[in-house]
Every structure is written in structure tokens, then in C-alpha cells.
Structure 1
Amino acid sequence: MRSDKVRLGVHRAPQRSLLRAMGHDDETMVKPLIGIANSYSQVVPGHIHLNDLALAVAEGVRQAGGQPMEFNTMAICDGLVMGHDGMHASLPSREIVADSVELMAQAHCFDGLVLLASCDKIVPGMLMAAARLDIPVVAVTGGPMAAGRLDGKRVDLITVFEGVAKVASGQMTPDDLARLERLACPGPGSCAGMFTANTMACITEALGLSLPGCACALAAGPEKRRIARDSGLKIVELASRDLRPSAILTPAAFENACRVDLALGGSTNTALHLPAIAHAAGVSFGLADFDRLARQTPHLCSMSPGGPMHMENLGAAGGVGGVLRALAPLIDASCLAVGGSIADYMTERQPDLVVDGQLVIHPLSAPVHDQGGIAVLRGNLAPDGAVVKQTAVAPEMMRHQGPAQVFDSEDAAVAAYDQGRIRPGGVLVVRYEGPAGGPGMREMLALTALISGGPLSGKVALITDGRFSGGSRGAAIGHVSPEAAQGGLIGLVADGDMIEIDIPGRRLELAVAAEELERRRQAWRRPAAKFARGPLARYAALVGSAAGGAVLRDDFSQGSR
């Protein structure tokens, strides 16, 4: 066992003495050491219940003959940091989560690891650590909260964000918004729609790194606690078999996970996270794969924010297993998983389950849309790629041409909206919000919710080198690469320039003569760094392009610069 390095032999008497200080005895000294990486905090609703799940994991570990050793890592709530400077910290936290889990597991020589996490950057960070460590792991995603109810209708956090715009435009009263605020998020868990947190939970299950049913089991429900206990049982078995992530995270597994994401119409943030996990696993998987698979994989589930369904509906209809079953001709069911193989994850789709007049999981023969949720656009504005959730774009905005309104930050664009300066028919360009230029590639849910929830819905497009929340909808095109701060063409756009968006044709073009662009390039100067010291300054100096998953540079061999 790996843990023998810590506990075995006369030279490890001091280490055994430290373990005895925590209650270990001769019996536990010979059991497999199972780390439980827990991102519990009292800051994030998706994490506030994780200590209860950790108890269930530990119960399963002990029952299977292992010794649990729990430790914690950080968790940032994207909803709470949305729309202000706090969002700079969100994407960089993915790297801190990954590093903290990897360092703890490496230092203490765990024989296996249970990853207990929820929400946006925390789940992918832990999966990156698992891929780099390559020791047996089981992931337990914390589960979604139930949707709220207001006057008989299901509501969620995005309903509240869009409610702010409705109040500003007179479509909703402040009193109605206050009622909505109190009812939209009824308890613990990740926000109820197919936003980034739940998209990542579904991807984790589709990759085969969590047990079947884990993604859709509600945070506060008994099924989640059962899965947590079973995961504790399972990790001891996997440790004894030495079944590692490298056997699970194959190119075919990434294709399976991406197809599930596309069928669900999941968050565009997966175009950052899935390539980053693949990079950690030594697998080549990027934007070209997303676009190739999107053309082959239909959209089967009309999930919030682009449709009426919530995670509880998906769970009732068969969950990720039901989506895998619906996609069966496109899925490699032989891929290994912590619960056997992906074939063992496929559950029956409930063909008669209808919500708000439509099926929850559509069959391949009658999809919601013929193509998957994410489209990758290219052109002179985004030679390395840009990303849009095409299934959440109004039909009339799938092709759009209009004059640019340029803003050098999200804050400036929101101020312009509040002042009534956003013109219908235009294209908002929000730049210097990329991985390095932001830094941290801030999500722009505050801005997209103002547009989608107000009178400009379906009347303007938005492009940015930043990114969007999984709850964003509309003609919102992010991840424009190269970013402005790295000399990308988006940094040369001027007010009034014509921009052409063709989502079906996968094109994003700036209609400005080459001579004029060269004149602007000669006058362009790289902006000063927004943070001169600390973790955000380090992140800005080391982070790579959004087109590659915004991973940190790791070429630190001797002589590299």
C-alpha cells in the first residue's frame, strides 16, 4: 500500500506516534488510508451540507475495512461573487483547489481518495488533482438544490438575476422581486438548473468517476447520503484493485462526457474545464473536439436556463444514465468507470415523463435541436475559437450583424446599461476580461441577466474574451481567443465597427480593412496589470489561453522561460 511509506517499519515510529495522537491504534495502522477531500464551508449553499455527506463516506470506508482521513479545501460561490471584483478570484481558485488536494494526497500517501465537492470550479479542480495524482478515486458531487416555487411555477437563482432587469424595466414590482428572492433557493445544494455546477456533476458521472445516479440525487435527499456511503465502500475496493483514473480517463471517456454535456445543453464553462481535466490526464481534448461532437450529437434535454427543466426533473426521467441510454448509439459503453463500465450506468429513459408539455429526455429521433448545446465559432475575431451556448440563443439571433459598442470591462458595460446607453441591434464587445487580462475571466451573469430579463432580450449580441455563467442565455459569445490583453483582435475593435455573427456557419468576423487594423495595432499598448502582487498577479503571469482550458503554464524544465 502507498500508506506503508508513512506507517511501516522501525523508522516510522515517530509517524505512528503522531497517528496515535489522533486515535489510531494497532488495528487501524494496517488499514488502507483513504483521504476524504471535503470542500465544506459555511459560505456556499452548495457546500454547507457536505459535512453530513462526509460522515456517510467515512461510514462506508470503515465498513469496507479502510481508515478515513478527512481534510478540507476552499470553495468560492460564483453566485455570491458575481458582478463585482470578487469574481476575479473564481477561476483561479480552480488551480488552488487542484493543488491543495494533490499536495495533501501526495504528502500523506493516501491509498485512495474520495472527492467530496460541489459547484463550479471546485469539482473540476478536484478532478484535475485526481488525474495528476493517478491514485484510486471516487467523486461524490454534492447534488442540486430543489427548484423554488412561486405562484405554482418553478423558479431558480437565474429567475432572480433576470428579475432585477424586470424591475428596472417595469415588468416586475420590487415587492414581487422580494418574494422571488425568498423562494428561489429553498435549501442546500447547487443551483437547480443546468448551470455549471450541475453540468460538471453530470460530466463527472459520464466520465465514470462517480457512482451511477450521483449527479441528479438532490443535496438534501436520502439518496445522496446512500451514494456517499456507497462511495466510501467503493473506494476501498478500488484501492485494493489499484484501479486508477488513468484507466478511466481515456479519449473515449472524454468524448462520452462531452456528448452528455452537449445533449444536456450544459454550461459553456465545460469548454474550459473538460480540456483542463484532459490536460491533467495527458489526453488531447479541446475546442475542435467540442465542435466536432456538437455537429454529431443532438440536444435532448431543454434544461434551465434555456428551457423549463430542472435537475429534479432530469433525475425523475432517468438522470445521466437516462441520457446515456438515449445517446447509446453514440456512446462507448465499454469505458471503465468506478461503478463497473459505462454500460452499467445506462438506465432506462422514462419516455412518458412530460414537464410543461414536453419530454424531459427526448429520443435521438426527435431531439430538441439537431445539434448539441455548444458551438465553437472562428474567424478573424477569434482565430483560436470562441464559445456560445447555441441552444440558448433566440432563433432570430443565430445570425446577426450590427455595429460594435465597446467596453473595456464588464463594469463599464453594466453602467452603460443602467444609463440606457445600450442600443438595440448592436454587438456589445466586452474585453480585457480574459484569463490573463481580467484576470480570472470573470463570469458576466449580471450583464447577461440584465439583457435577457429586460427589453433588450433578443435585440443585442454580446462577445467577450471573458466568460459566462452556466445560467446565462442569449446571443452571448465568450472565450474569444486570443484575448485582448494578449494582443487579440478583440482589443482593436472600435465603436461602430460592423461585426458579423453566424452561429450555424460557426463564424465571428470583424468587417474592418486590414490597413486600418494594422494602423490600430501599431497604436495599441498592452494595458498595465490590474494586480501587482499576490495570487491574482501570479495567475495572470502563468495562465494560458481560454482555447486551451485556461490551464497554468507548467513547462518548468531547466532553461524554460
Structure 2
Amino acid sequence: MRRAQWTALGLTPEDMEKPKIAIVNSSSDLASCFSHLDDIVGPLKQAIRAAGGIGFEVRTAAPSDAITSAGAAGQYILPSRDLIVGDIEVAAEGALLDGMVCLASCDKTTPAHLMAAGRLNIPTIVVACGYQPSGVFRGEHVDFEDVFLYAGHVASGRMTVADLAEMSSCAITGPGVCAGMGTANSMHIAAEALGMALPGSTPVLANGPRMWQTVAAAGQRIVELIDEDVRPRDILLPGAFRNAVTAMLAISGSVNTLKHLQAVAVEAGSDVDVYALFEELAPKVPLLTAVKPNGERRIDEFEAAGGTLALLRELGPMLDLDQPTVAGPTLGAAITAVAPVSSGVISPLDRPVASDVIRPLDRPLARHPGIVIVRGTLAPDGGVVKRTVTDDGVHRFSGPAKVYRSREEGIAGIRGGEVRPGQVLVLTGLGLRGSPGMGLTSAFVFALDGAGLGDQVAVVTDGQMSGLVNKGLVVAEVSPEGAVGGPLGLVRDGDVITVDVDTRTIDLDVPEAELAERRAALPALAAPTGCSWLSVYARTVSPLAQGATLSK
């Protein structure tokens, strides 16, 4: 049956004997993140055929945080990741394909591709398809992060809709992912640090020369990987995750990388506790770069300074350099190579010694961790805090709680003048099952900033934050979540909450007996019924410690 179908597609009898490779195209016309991916498929097919294989384009869901978050209060964002994994499984496993080249773009596509690689364990290369070029607004550089931030200023009345509309029309001048150290660029870098993207391929300007070099090299290399029988589980070893976590700490990457890397480990069958790795390594790994929103550097400057290869070379003494990569050589060999594209290393490391974009280990930008996991009576299983390179914000905050149960209710509270300096604002019921899908709460944080309250309050939530959020003291992804009986769901207005980033603690000052009474009165969370994707997700999602995978 396959031969009959493939003959109708133009394959010859000789083609039937060649490796069959999925070109995983997580593409959509809904967002500029993906608008260039369809044009990559043809050249990639040609590169695969020239190397002796046959490429088949397969499509998946293609969520964009900027677009897909509009509906259902952002609840579709995280669950879409696992939907992509299922899409890939159906296509690649159902057709018994031999390998995959995954065209990665917006936030959830890269972790989904890595998860699918771990699950299916067929030779795979992740190709990061690049960041978008930014624009100019009234004489100043502007990018998508600025639009995200100033939308909060509109919500609080400090900026007009007309001004925001003008800014948004200037911010993005081409395809690709957000031009900051958000989740997309962080996960592209993580893929290379894991060894699943070709060395020297991240980050990269969408449709730039190095992206096309990577596409050509990936088409050749995937056929070699199949011949060599090198599979993702040969690469996604504990040392690979340690390297990726080290890289994320050095760039102060997106807080979303914690759950995504944990999910990849689960799917790959790798016995790794990513959250524990972040806790162990955070005090040891210095900050070596300050790309927006962590500082003033731009992602194109990071690429020009040598990108991930340069970062990993500086981190060399802290890495497991014996880890294999999809290029064939070990990570140690890759970061010291100055070689042509045919070697699988995309670019040499000829950056100026004086470059200050990526610092050496002995001259870091800062020594405090950019990502901190806090624990305590309010978050027994942890919550995540993002810190800037300058780290000039509040480290310790104690105050009375003001509780909201949706981002819309919280934004209405800001507009209505309910929020007061000194409060700890609690957004609860937004976790994996309570939302379901983990509600996106970034709009609330930006609205606080727009109202001039960002540094006068603290925010604690079991929802998720955009990887671009870096405003004020925010503790996100508190676990266990409030809707399933976690302490966050027991907080009442006026309860005193204390967050101390330096001691990595977060505590609720309410007697345990009182909490027990509140917990007993809390109605059990009913499992949702029906066939909708969010209902299926809520019934099957595992806790954050298991990467929020669908393993229940």
C-alpha cells in the first residue's frame, strides 16, 4: 500500500530502498513565527535527496504564544506542546519512517520536537529556524518584547491604544521567533546544548545565511545519522541535560525551560531531575550574557559574538564535554572546532577577544543565579523566580495577600484601584489541572508594571509566565497547584506571605490547623468530561516534576 501511494507521488523503485525521513513542519499562517517555514521544506528535501534519502513533509499543530493565547485565557499554550508530540508520533511511527528533521520555531515547537525525538527514538535533528528582525518606533529600536510590555501600560491607562498600535506595526519586520531571550531562543540554545541541534546553528536570524547553511547540513547529516544508527536516546543522557541546564543559567534563560527540559527527559527515558539540577547548579553558574529582557544586549549581537558555541566554549570547564551530538563529534570537539559546514559545525568561532557580549567565566556579568527555585510552606514542591543580570529588584518581600482567581479578575482589580503597595498578589486556580492547561498570567504582571506598581508588590501564581517576563518579584508555577489542594488555593485575603529570594524560601504565615480546616472545606476538583483537547489534557497531565507530560 505504501509503494502504491508513493509511486503516485513520483517515487521510483530505487527510491523505495532509501531512508524515509520526516520533515516535521510545525507551520501556520496564523503568525509570523512560522511564515517562512514552508519555504524551507523544498531546499531541505533537495538536501536529503542529494545525501541519498527521501524527505516527506508532515505538518503538526503550530501554536504561537502571541496568537494562540488570545482564546481561553491562554490555556491552550502549554497543552499544544503535547498535541504536537502526538501529531509527530502519528505521522512518523504510523508510517514507520526512519528519521526526522524538525523545523523548530515558536516556544512550544522546540520542546515538542525534542519530546517526540525522545519518545520515538529515531534519528533526529532539530533545526532552529531563527529569530525575527526588529524595527524602529519613533527613532528607537523596538521589538516584540516592547509591544508585550507596553500592552500592560494600555491596560492601566498609561499608554493609548493608538500609540500601542503604531508601535506594534513597527516591531516585527520579518518572520521568526521573538527577538529576545524568551522561551523560543532559550529552547533553541538548549537544543544545541543537549546535542540535538547541529553545533553552531543557534541562535540564528530567520532566513539568514547561517539558517540556510544549517538546513543544507541537516539534510546531509540526517541520512548519515540513520546509516550510523545514532538515536536520540544515545544523546539525551544525564550529562546532556546537565549541560543544557548550565547553559540556561548562564544566559538567564526562560523559566519555561525547566518544565520543557524535564518533559524531554521523561519522554527520552532519561533518569534526570531537571528541577534538582537547576537548584544544584544555580549557585555555581555565573551569568555570562545579558540579552533582552535580562539586559540591553540584542539576540543578533549574541549570534554575532559566536552564539551558543561561543557560550559553551566559555562554559567548557563546567560541562560534560564527552557528550555526543548529532554532528558526530563530542561536545568538546564541537566547541573547539573551526571547520567548514560539511563537518556539521555551522560556523567558526572567530569572534573578537574583546567582545563583551559573552563574558568568560573569570569575568562574568554577575554571579547570582538568573533562575531561582523557591520552596516553603506555600510551595512545598517549588516555585520559579526569574532574576535580571543587574538584579536591582526586591529580594525579600513580606505582606498581606490579595487573592484573585483569574488574570482577568486581577487586571480588573488593578484598574479598580484594589491593588495597594505592599500586597502579595495571589493568582490561584491557574495550574495544569485547575486552569486547565496552566493559564498565562503575563498580562497581569505587565499591567502592574504599567500601573507603576511592579516594584511595590509581589506576585505569586500557579500559572505560567511568558519567557519574556522579567518585571518585579514574581513567583510562578507554584506547585502543588491551588486547585488540587495545594497551599496556594487555601490563601485568603490578608494572610501574610513572605518571599525571600536569597534564602530561596516562600512561606505562608497561617497555622497548620487553620490550613487543615480550609483544605477540608475545599471542594474536590472534578475531572472534566467531554472530548475537547483541554478536557483530555486535564484528565491526563502529570505534575510539573514530571514535566507536565501526559503520563497519568
Classify the TM-score, shorter chain: over 0.9
Asked if structure 1 preserves the Cα contact closer than 8 Å seen for 2:152 and 2:443, the reply is no
1:15 and 2:2 matched: yes
What SS is found at the alignment partner of 1:520?
A: helix
1:66-77 matches, cutoff 5 A: 66-77=53-64
Match of 2:542 in 1: 544
**Alpha-carbon shift at residue 345 of structure 1 (Å):** 3.5
Deviates more, 1:453-462 or 1:235-244: 453-462
Match of 2:331 in 1: 342
**Alpha-carbon shift at residue 84 of structure 1 (Å):** 4.7
What SS is found at the alignment partner of 2:452?
A: coil
Asked if structure 2 preserves the Cα contact closer than 8 Å seen for 1:200 and 1:270, the reply is yes
**Alpha-carbon shift at residue 442 of structure 1 (Å):** 1.8
What SS is found at the alignment partner of 1:337?
A: coil
CA distances 1:198-234 after superposition (whole Å, capped 9, x unpaired): 1111101111111123221111212211211110111
Q: Could you tell me how far apart the structure 1 residues matched to 2:502 and 2:376 are?
A: 13
What SS is found at the alignment partner of 2:75?
A: helix
Q: Could you tell me how far apart the structure 2 residues matched to 1:170 and 1:320 are?
A: 40
Match of 2:129 in 1: 142
Residue 51 of structure 1, aligned match among 6, 19, 38: 38
Residues 295 and 540 of structure 1: is their aligned pair in 2 closer, same or farther, counting only changes over 3 Å? same
1:373 and 2:362 matched: no
Match of 1:356 in 2: none
Q: Could you tell me how far apart the structure 2 residues matched to 1:444 and 1:84 are?
A: 13
**Alpha-carbon shift at residue 86 of structure 1 (Å):** 5.2
Q: Could you tell me how far apart the structure 2 residues matched to 1:484 and 1:547 are?
A: 16
Q: Could you tell me how far apart the structure 1 residues matched to 2:58 and 2:537 are?
A: 25
1:291 and 2:288 matched: no
**Alpha-carbon shift at residue 166 of structure 1 (Å):** 3.2
**Alpha-carbon shift at residue 368 of structure 1 (Å):** 2.2
AA at the equivalent of 2:315: L
Residue 462 of structure 2, aligned match among 460, 465, 468: 465
CA distances 1:24-82 after superposition (whole Å, capped 9, x unpaired): 11221121111111112111211111011122211210110111111111111111233
Match of 1:8 in 2: none
1:158-307 matches, cutoff 5 A: 158-167=145-154, 172-283=159-270, 284-307=272-295
Deviates more, 1:283-292 or 1:459-468: 283-292
**Alpha-carbon shift at residue 378 of structure 1 (Å):** 0.4
1:505 and 2:503 matched: yes
CA distances 1:433-473 after superposition (whole Å, capped 9, x unpaired): 00011111022221122223441121111111111000111
**Alpha-carbon shift at residue 393 of structure 1 (Å):** 8.7
Q: Could you tell me how far apart the structure 2 residues matched to 1:57 and 1:39 are?
A: 15
AA at the equivalent of 1:89: Y
Structure 1 length-normalised TM: 0.92
Residue 419 of structure 2, aligned match among 413, 422, 431: 422
Aligned length: 536
In structure 1, runs of 5+ residues without a counterpart are 1-13, 354-358, 555-561
Structure 2 length-normalised TM: 0.93
C-alpha root-mean-square deviation of aligned residues, in Å?
A: 1.8
1:446-457 matches, cutoff 5 A: 446-457=443-454
Asked if structure 2 preserves the Cα contact closer than 8 Å seen for 1:57 and 1:230, the reply is no
Asked if structure 1 preserves the Cα contact closer than 8 Å seen for 2:132 and 2:172, the reply is yes
Match of 2:432 in 1: 435
Q: Could you tell me how far apart the structure 2 residues matched to 1:328 and 1:56 are?
A: 34
Q: Could you tell me how far apart the structure 2 residues matched to 1:478 and 1:322 are?
A: 31
CA distances 1:382-435 after superposition (whole Å, capped 9, x unpaired): 111111112379534111111111011122111111222211111110011000
1:325 and 2:313 matched: yes
Q: Could you tell me how far apart the structure 2 residues matched to 1:170 and 1:204 are?
A: 40
Residues 348 and 505 of structure 1: is their aligned pair in 2 closer, same or farther, counting only changes over 3 Å? farther
Q: Could you tell me how far apart the structure 2 residues matched to 1:109 and 1:350 are?
A: 47
Q: Could you tell me how far apart the structure 1 residues matched to 2:51 and 2:449 are?
A: 50
AA at the equivalent of 1:328: G
Asked if structure 1 preserves the Cα contact closer than 8 Å seen for 2:152 and 2:444, the reply is no
Residues 411 and 60 of structure 1: is their aligned pair in 2 closer, same or farther, counting only changes over 3 Å? same
Q: Could you tell me how far apart the structure 1 residues matched to 2:514 and 2:352 are?
A: 58
What SS is found at the alignment partner of 2:166?
A: helix
AA at the equivalent of 2:523: R
Residues 414 and 178 of structure 1: is their aligned pair in 2 closer, same or farther, counting only changes over 3 Å? same
Residue 392 of structure 2, aligned match among 379, 390, 395: 395
CA distances 1:480-514 after superposition (whole Å, capped 9, x unpaired): 11101111010100001110001111100001122
Q: Could you tell me how far apart the structure 1 residues matched to 2:224 and 2:440 are?
A: 40
CA distances 1:179-215 after superposition (whole Å, capped 9, x unpaired): 3111111110001001111111110111111112322
Deviates more, 1:83-92 or 1:386-395: 386-395
Q: Could you tell me how far apart the structure 1 residues matched to 2:530 and 2:234 are?
A: 42
Residues 484 and 531 of structure 1: is their aligned pair in 2 closer, same or farther, counting only changes over 3 Å? farther
Residues 420 and 144 of structure 1: is their aligned pair in 2 closer, same or farther, counting only changes over 3 Å? same
**Alpha-carbon shift at residue 165 of structure 1 (Å):** 3.4
Asked if structure 2 preserves the Cα contact closer than 8 Å seen for 1:212 and 1:345, the reply is yes
Residues 18 and 82 of structure 1: is their aligned pair in 2 closer, same or farther, counting only changes over 3 Å? closer
What SS is found at the alignment partner of 1:321?
A: helix
**Alpha-carbon shift at residue 380 of structure 1 (Å):** 0.6
Asked if structure 1 preserves the Cα contact closer than 8 Å seen for 2:25 and 2:57, the reply is yes
In structure 2, runs of 5+ residues without a counterpart are 336-348
What SS is found at the alignment partner of 1:296?
A: coil
Q: Could you tell me how far apart the structure 1 residues matched to 2:406 and 2:382 are?
A: 20
Q: Could you tell me how far apart the structure 2 residues matched to 1:394 and 1:532 are?
A: 46
Match of 2:346 in 1: none
Match of 1:38 in 2: 25
Q: Could you tell me how far apart the structure 2 residues matched to 1:280 and 1:140 are?
A: 19
Asked if structure 1 preserves the Cα contact closer than 8 Å seen for 2:297 and 2:357, the reply is yes
Q: Could you tell me how far apart the structure 2 residues matched to 1:56 and 1:425 are?
A: 57
Q: Could you tell me how far apart the structure 2 residues matched to 1:94 and 1:164 are?
A: 26
Deviates more, 1:66-75 or 1:168-177: 168-177
